[in-house]
Structures are given as C-alpha cells and as structure tokens.
C-alpha cells in the first residue's frame, strides 16, 4: 500500500515571503498522480496543483509550484509571495494510475497547517 508523509505539522511564513511544504511518499508503482489540496477553515477541499509522475517538468499554477523528485519520492510545494488567503491546511495526496481494485481513490498525508504572519 502507498503511504504519504508530511513531516511538518505546522509552518509559519511572513506575508509576501516564500514557503516550501514537504511531502514524501512510498510506492512500488511507476505511474501515478500527485496532488496538493488546500483546506481552509470552511473545510472545502480545494485543488492547488497536480503532477503526473511520467512528466519530468514540474507543475506550476501562478504562485504555486512543485519540486517533483521521482527517484527520491519527494513532492514539495512552494508558495511564492504568500498572501493572507493562503492560510489553511495543506494536504499532499497520491493516486495510482492503475484502474480498479481500490486504486482509484486518493491517499492523503496528515497535512501541514500553514500560518501567514501579516
């Protein structure tokens, strides 16, 4: 079974600064997807960014980018120019690219609580 580890229970960053959230995972599969989700106090899960394992290029979405290191099984999220609205729980998630057999759902890490200091 796959596991996802987020070793930082909480991170704090000054507004407008850059912060990196760490995520590592364990899998024997070669093809899979990785995600970062944001959960603000409203509890709505919001997709931040997505990475396909077969792509070498790191995904970017405006101020959000990832550092995907497949050999190291590492998938960190960098948030540039942090804003107050970025404050939330951030969850790293894994999904197999194989269909069926329970491989279709997401496996989540425990989350990192991001605090933005004004």
Partner 1 sequence: SAVISQKPSRDICQRGTSLTIQCQVDSQVTMMFWYRQQPGQSLTLIATANQGSEATYESGFVIDKFPISRPNLTFSTLTVSNMSPEDSSIYLCSVRRLAGGGTTDTQYFGPGTRLTVL
Q: Closest Cα to residue 97, out of 53, 56, 64, 55?
A: 53
Helix, strand or coil, per DSSP, at residue 45:
coil
- For residue 9, what are its two tokens? 């229970």
- Nearest distance from C-beta of residue 106 to partner 1, angstroms: 6
Q: Contact between 118 and partner 1 (CB under 8 A)? A: no
* CB-CB neighbours of 58 under 10 Å: 15
- Nearest distance from C-beta of residue 99 to partner 1, angstroms: 10
Residue with Cβ nearer partner 1 (33 or 64): 33
For partner 1, the binding residues (CB under 8 A) are 33, 35, 37, 42-45, 47, 50, 52, 91, 95, 102, 104-111
């Amino acid at each position: 079974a796959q596991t996802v580890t987020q070793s930082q229970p909480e991170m704090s960053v000054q507004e407008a600064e850059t912060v990196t959230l760490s995520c590592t995972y364990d899998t024997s599969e070669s093809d899979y997807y990785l995600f970062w989700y944001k959960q603000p106090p409203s509890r709505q899960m919001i997709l931040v960014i997505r990475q396909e394992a077969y792509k070498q290029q790191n995904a970017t979405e405006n101020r959000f980018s990832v550092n995907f290191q497949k050999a190291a099984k590492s998938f960190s999220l960098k948030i540039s120019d942090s804003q107050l609205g970025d404050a939330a729980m951030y969850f790293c998630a894994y999904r197999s690219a194989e269909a069926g057999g329970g491989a279709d759902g997401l496996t989540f890490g425990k989350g990192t609580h991001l605090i933005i200091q004004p």
